Amino acid sequence: MTSRRKSCADMAEVRESIDAIDRELVAILADRLHFIAEAARIKPNRDQVRDDERVEDVLNKVRAAAKEQGVDPELIAGVFRELVERSIVHEFTLFDQRKH
């Protein structure tokens, strides 16, 4: 993904840019949730939904990606920790809804 970082002339341009990025983020999150649903479908046991090693792996990868992008890795890891935790809750819900 190419960076769109630019100087803005005014707050309207800042907000327009943020709104465009937010729409893309929603689409990307929808794709991510699709794969969370796939995981809930594929995992044979409920105790496999939470995988703490995988959580730490994801957080380490996003910290590294944040460093590459020149942004605070702990800020990004905090955002992703929330995303991952909510994804796990969602996966439990989907797992519990499937027909066994």
| 4, part of any domain | no
Q: What is the pLDDT of residues 20-34, one digit of tens each?
A: 999 999 999 999 999
Residue length of the chain: 100
| 29, part of any domain | yes
| Average pLDDT value over all residues in the chain | 96
d(CA 34, CA 42): 12
> Token pair for residue 30?
């929808």
| 6, part of any domain | no
Please report, as a single letter, which amino acid is at residue 22. D
Domain residues for the domain of 82 are: 11-97
The pTM for the full model equals 0.90
| 1, part of any domain | no
Q: Give the number of other CB atoms < 10 A from CB of residue 58.
A: 17
CATH number at residue 93: 1.20.59.10
Report the domain count for the chain: 1
